[in-house]
Amino acid sequence: MQQMAEWNVWTQRSVELLEKGYLDKLLQVYKGESGSSRSVPEEVEEKLREAYKAYEGRQDSPEAETKLVEAVLNARKKVERSPFNHPYLPLVYYLVSEKAEKANKALEEALQEVASKHPETIRVLAKEAQRRGVEALIQRLKEPPEINRQIGPMFKRWYKEELKGKIEERLPGPTKPKIVVVSPEKSKPEQAPLIAEREAGIIIYTGSDEALKDAAKENLGLGEEAELGTKGVDFYVVIRRSPEETWHLTGEVKFQSDFGGNQDNQKLVAKASIRLDLEKRHIGIVVVDGMPVVSKFRGWAGLGKETIVTSVLLLPDLIAELYQKGEEALGL
């Protein structure tokens, strides 16, 4: 097992956060509260109850099976959530939705065609729905959105609305640079490189992953074939220390609540180390939180001085120190 002394300083500092109330501070970025319950249209509930009641009276009837599955799919469509989890349910939903869209058919008619080819699958899904009970199906529809599915949007909100203030807190008054938040999606593509030439010392790019990737490639003079990580770019910040020294910080963001995904972690580390380009002053990093930090990066291979893996809580510090110290801040 690697020793912490062999890691980059930002990875070491991430582990040190455990002694400073790491999880409580992490709630500032990734809120632990799921929010309000979902609203379920009355007609969705009624359709589920009617189909459920009909199925209980005729469990051997293909018609009743199809009707119950139809009510389940209708709920999935209207509420954008399945009344219960089953590996085959999204497959059937996709087939039915595709057929309904392409042939301009109602959901009921499209399901009839799918059911004629997959009767046993429909039977199993109807049985699984019945086993859970209709009230349990409706209650699941009303449950607040799962927190795990909100991690990405939570980061984007914090990044867009709070990162600027966090950086300003870490920079002393007399040397505080102008910090701007811009969206390349609201600028013409040919204007993207000019953003780094403005008076701002730190530029925080916001927008879709694709827009951030395109802006970074444009500013760095990279070709279309260039990769910026395993799945794109979650953030892009330009740090302009002087007219002659501009740093580009790109990265991917990840949150893990268990020990899964070690193969993905190793891919992330490999990509991050590749993206350390001191000539272009381009640093590609991985921002990761949750179990990796809590477990002190147990199972992570490839961590080293030139591989920057850090917590989101240290992102403002990294940006501020890059502005103040340049390459020295990287701890290489």
| pLDDT per residue as tens digits for the range 34-54 | 667 888 999 999 999 999 999
* Spatial contact of 35 and 144, defined as CB atoms under 8 Å apart: yes
Residue 271 CA to its chain's centroid (Å): 18
Q: Which residues, other chains included, contact 292 with Cβ-Cβ below 8 Å and sequence gap of 6+?
A: 256, 265, 298, 300, 309
Domain count of the chain? 2
Indicate the average pLDDT of the chain.
86
Query: Contact, 83 vs 76, CB < 8 A?
Result: yes
Same domain? For 166 and 86 the reply is: no
The whole-model pTM stands at 0.75
| Confidence (pLDDT) at 268 | 60
317 lies in some domain: yes
Q: Which of 113, 142, 171 is the last residue of a domain?
A: 142
pLDDT band at 191 (very low <50, low <70, confident <90, very high): very low
Residue 36 maps to a domain: no
> Three-state DSSP class for 41?
coil
pLDDT digits (tens, 9 = 90+) for 221-273: 888 777 776 677 899 999 999 888 999 999 989 888 876 655 566 556 555 54
- Cβ 195 vs Cβ 238: under 8 Å: yes
Last residue of a domain, one of 142, 158, 183: 142
pLDDT score recorded for residue 193:
47
Q: Can you give the residue range of the structural domain that contains 80?
A: 42-142
Produce one character per residue of 134-153: b if its CB has 16 or more CB atoms within 10 Å, e if not.
beebbebbeeeeebeebbee
The pLDDT tens digits of the residues spanning 55-93 come to 998 877 999 999 999 999 999 999 988 999 999 999 999
Asked if residues 57 and 117 have their Cβ atoms less than 8 Å apart, the reply is: no
Say how far apart CA 14 and CA 320 lie, in whole Å: 16
What percentage of residues in the chain have a pLDDT greater than 70?
A: 88
